[in-house]
Structure formats: structure tokens, C-alpha cells
């Protein structure tokens, strides 16, 4: 808690009531939020990489690893001397194509490289991934894909019509809806089209433009119409390749440091300069938190504060003192946290509750972390169902030392 400042003397001094519990909690929360000392230790791991993609990416991954130490030194030089080590070194994601765990700022580059490498495995699937993943305007993707599907339908249903086997590249519809999409030209090539320069039909000798560029379907593809139909269905049904947030699950021994969090800049929806400014304004924020304000003012400021965070680091302390830690999106629902804890239990059927600061029960699992004030970090307490635990004890059976899975306890860490 922030130290209370003595009120300034007034002309007619009156007894002044101390800060309410609510004000003190607000001050403590503000302190926790503003305790930012960005220090990142970059990590990278390559595991479970699919055979073909792994071969393509190994050299690139090795080169990236060599450059980490230099980047680490640059980041460390920005830290204040004596700054505490961060609770986590950053936010990491799991690539669905390679299984590699990569840092947030390397995520897009890694996915792009993985898709490029997948062309040697399945060029059609890789080009479809490009279209859906690298074009961020989802409406443009939808329109382009649906237009492309009509081209393929025309060929499938009218294989005898030569006009449907050619697509003029300068056609207005093609230019506006299809050509602008990244990956679309590789898709054409992968499904059997080739680029040809053809004479412009019906043009006189005086016309300056006598030829035009076309995509023309290779003749052998007319015997593989079912393949074209499958390609169309893949194009329509595919989704963007999205990396999955790595929870960075950790188990810590009982520690008095459980409530101390030092977060890297990855957790904040702010630039590095904005984070520095937040640090400079920390004292002012604590003072404001202690001032008397209307409830509406407090809620407005809290909502503005919550929007600063993209992620949250949550620790769950068990009755035996062991601590389970994971990283979550700030806008994920609390139900995700309950599932996260349940999956870590030796007996996942045991009913429990999670208690927030002040013993407040997190009963509405549909609320998001930021709606519950659990960002950018939170220490929660797990409480077992008393009646169920009493029944278990009545059975007289020997209980394990910890409710956590043995494989998690085998890599328990010490919280520094």
C-alpha cells in the first residue's frame, strides 16, 4: 500500500477520516499496475516440427538463434540498474504448422516462413493459407474468394466452353476483387493455370493494343475437374493460420514473492515511449488513486486503464502454498482459467472456487479478465469445496502430497 500523506493544515482544521478500504485497495492496485520495469529475455524453442517443414526452417532458425544474444544485450542496456527480473520473459505463441514456440514479435515472420516452406509439401494448400492469412481485410478476402469460386464453377459445369478456361488479367472485376489479394497468383499456378499472351479478338490493324495477358487453364486439368472442385471447396472453407497463445505454464514452490509481478512490455498495448511515461507518472497515479472521486469517475478511469493491456499473467495459489502460473489474453473469459487449473490437477473432478483480491469469488465465468480487474496480473486463491473434501477425508484414504499432476511437480521452480 502507498504511504498515506499527511493532510495539509487548513485555516479551520477539521478531523479528517482516513482513506476508505476502497481507496486503499485502489492505491494498491495502481501501484501494482504501474510497477513496470521492462526487461526481456528472449527465448526461442523448436520442437514438434513437421518433417518437411522442419527441414526447410532449420537453417533459418539457427541463424535467428545466433542473433538473440546481441538483441538481449541491447534490451538489457535500456533497463534501470538493479531492476528486478521479469516474472515472464515475454509473450509467446505456438505455430500450428511447425509446433515451434516463438516470441510475439517473431510470430508473423515465423508463420510466413512456415507457409512458404509448406509450398514444397502442398502448393495448393500453402497458397490458400497465404490468401486467408496475409490479407487482413476479411471482407476483401470473402469477396475475392467467392469470385474465384465462380470462375472454377464455370469451368466445372461447362468444361466444353473454352471462354471459361481463360481469365483476362486486366479485367476490371479480376483487378478489383482478385488480383489485389496476396497469394492469389500462386493459387492460380498451383491449380493448373498458366500465364499466356493472347491476341485481342476483333481488333483492327490501327489498334495499338493487339495482345493481352490471360490466365489459361492447362488442357490436362480438364480431365481433373473433380480436383478443381476440391480446390474450390478448400478455398471457401479455409481459415487464417493463427498462432496459439502459449500459456507458459509454470509451477512454483510456496513463496512470499507470489504477489510481486514484474511484467515485460509485451503485456502492454503501448509503445516503449508510452511505457516509460507511465513509469514517470507512477507517483501521480498513486496520489490520484487515494483521492476522493465519484464512482463514475473511478469506473471510467479503470476502464481506460484496462484497455492498456493485451495480456494478463495470472497466478493461482493452492491451499498447500504451491503456485500455478499462466499467460492469458486480457479479453479471454474466466472460464478459460478454470479449465487451465482443472487440467493441471491430478484429479480434475474435484470442485473448487477461485477467489480474487479480498476473497471475492469469481463466480461469473463468462466475464473477461479485464472486466474482473485481473489485468495485467493477478494473484488468486484456490479453495476446495468443503463438503467434498470432508467426504474424502472421511474415507480415510491416503491423499497425495499435492493435488497437482506429478509431471508438473517434477519441474517445479522457485519464485525469485
- Cell triple for residue 25? 485497495
Sheet holding 250-252, edge to edge: 250-252, 323-329, 311-317, 377-384, 352-355
> Do 379 and 315 touch, CB atoms closer than 8 A?
yes
DSSP 178: I
Q: Is the pLDDT of residue 176 over 80?
A: yes
Asked if residue 164 belongs to a domain, the reply is yes
Asked if residue 152 belongs to a domain, the reply is yes
User: Which residues does residue 20 pair with via DSSP β-bridges, in sequence order?
Assistant: none
Indicate the range of 20-29, 211-220, 322-331, 382-391 predicted with least confidence: 20-29
DSSP 2: P
Distance CA 371, CA 364 (A): 11
Greater confidence (84 vs 227) lies with 227
229 and 318 in a single domain? The answer is: no
Asked if residue 342 belongs to a domain, the reply is yes
Asked if residue 177 belongs to a domain, the reply is yes
Confidence of residue 158 (pLDDT cuts 50, 70, 90): very high
Q: What is the pLDDT of residue 230?
A: 96
105 and 226 in a single domain? The answer is: yes
Residue 370 burial (10 A CB sphere; 0-12, 13-18, 19+): buried
229 and 362 in a single domain? The answer is: no
Of 389, 387, 322, 315, give the one whose Cα is nearest residue 355: 315
Confidence of residue 401 (pLDDT cuts 50, 70, 90): confident
Asked if residue 283 belongs to a domain, the reply is no
Asked if residue 238 belongs to a domain, the reply is yes
235 and 320 in a single domain? The answer is: no
322 and 182 in a single domain? The answer is: no
- Positive/negative CA dihedral, 288, 293, 298, 301: negative
The domain boundary residue, chosen from 245, 260, 293: 245
Q: What CATH number should be reported for the domain holding residue 202?
A: 1.20.58.2190
114 and 201 in a single domain? The answer is: yes
Q: What CATH number should be reported for the domain holding residue 356?
A: 3.10.20.90
Q: What is the pLDDT of residue 203?
A: 59
314 and 233 in a single domain? The answer is: no
Greater confidence (160 vs 31) lies with 160
Range of the domain at 395: 310-414
Query: Mind listing the pLDDT tens digit for each residue in 307-361?
Result: 678 999 999 999 999 999 999 999 999 999 999 999 999 999 999 999 998 888 9
The domain boundary residue, chosen from 199, 223, 245: 245
Asked if residue 265 belongs to a domain, the reply is no
Asked if residue 2 belongs to a domain, the reply is no
Counting the structural domains of the chain, the total is: 2
228 and 345 in a single domain? The answer is: no
222 and 336 in a single domain? The answer is: no
- Cell triple for residue 387? 463438503
The domain boundary residue, chosen from 245, 263, 281: 245
Q: Count CA atoms within 13 Å of residue 195 on its CB side.
A: 8
Amino acid at each position: 500500500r502507498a504511504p498515506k500523506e499527511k493532510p495539509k493544515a487548513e485555516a479551520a482544521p477539521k478531523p479528517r477520516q482516513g482513506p476508505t478500504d476502497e481507496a486503499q485497495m485502489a492505491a494498491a492496485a495502481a501501484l501494482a499496475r504501474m510497477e513496470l520495469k521492462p526487461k526481456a529475455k528472449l527465448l526461442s524453442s523448436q520442437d514438434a516440427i513437421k518433417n518437411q517443414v522442419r527441414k526447410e526452417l532449420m537453417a533459418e532458425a539457427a541463424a535467428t538463434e545466433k542473433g538473440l544474444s546481441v538483441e538481449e544485450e541491447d534490451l538489457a542496456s535500456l533497463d534501470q540498474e538493479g531492476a528486478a527480473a521479469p516474472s515472464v520473459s515475454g509473450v509467446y505463441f505456438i505455430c500450428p504448422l511447425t509446433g515451434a514456440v516463438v516470441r510475439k514479435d517473431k510470430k508473423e515472420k515465423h508463420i510466413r516462413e512456415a507457409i512458404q516452406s509448406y509450398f514444397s509439401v502442398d502448393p495448393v494448400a500453402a497458397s490458400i493459407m497465404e490468401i486467408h492469412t496475409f490479407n487482413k481485410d476479411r471482407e476483401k478476402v470473402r469477396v475475392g474468394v467467392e469470385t474465384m469460386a465462380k470462375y472454377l464453377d464455370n469451368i466445372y459445369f461447362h468444361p466444353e466452353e473454352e471462354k471459361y478456361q481463360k481469365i483476362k488479367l486486366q479485367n476490371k472485376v479480376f483487378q478489383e476483387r482478385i488480383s489485389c489479394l496476396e497469394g492469389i497468383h500462386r493459387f492460380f499456378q498451383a491449380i493448373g493455370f498458366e500465364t499466356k499472351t493472347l491476341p485481342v479478338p476483333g481488333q483492327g490493324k490501327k489498334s495499338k493494343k493487339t495482345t493481352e495477358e490471360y490466365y489459361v487453364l492447362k488442357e490436362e486439368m480438364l480431365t481433373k475437374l473433380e480436383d478443381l472442385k476440391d480446390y474450390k471447396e478448400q478455398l471457401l472453407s479455409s481459415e487464417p493460420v493463427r498462432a496459439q497463445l502459449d500459456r507458459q505454464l509454470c509451477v512454483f514452490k510456496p513463496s512470499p514473492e507470489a504477489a510481486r509481478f514484474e511484467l515485460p512490455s509485451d503485456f502492454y498495448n503501448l509503445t516503449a515511449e508510452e511505457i516509460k511515461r507511465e513509469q514517470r507518472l507512477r507517483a501521480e497515479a498513486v496520489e490520484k488513486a487515494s483521492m476522493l472521486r465519484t464512482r463514475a469517475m473511478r469506473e471510467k478511469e479503470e476502464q481506460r486503464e484496462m484497455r492498456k493491456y493485451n495480456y494478463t499473467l495470472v497466478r493461482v495459489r493452492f491451499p498447500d502454498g504451491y503456485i500455478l502460473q499462466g499467460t492469458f489474453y486480457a479479453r479471454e473469459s474466466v472460464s478459460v482459467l478454470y479449465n487451465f487449473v482443472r487440467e493441471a490437477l491430478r484429479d480434475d473432478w474435484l470442485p473448487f472456487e477461485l477467489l480474487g483480491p479480498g476473497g471475492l469469488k469469481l463466480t461469473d465465468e463468462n466475464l473477461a479478465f479485464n472486466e474482473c480487474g485481473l489485468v495485467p496480473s493477478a494473484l488468486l486463491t484456490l479453495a476446495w469445496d468443503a463438503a467434498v473434501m470432508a467426504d474424502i477425508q472421511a474415507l480415510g484414504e491416503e491423499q497425495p502430497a499435492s493435488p497437482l499432476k506429478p509431471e508438473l511437480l517434477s519441474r517445479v521452480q522457485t519464485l525469485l
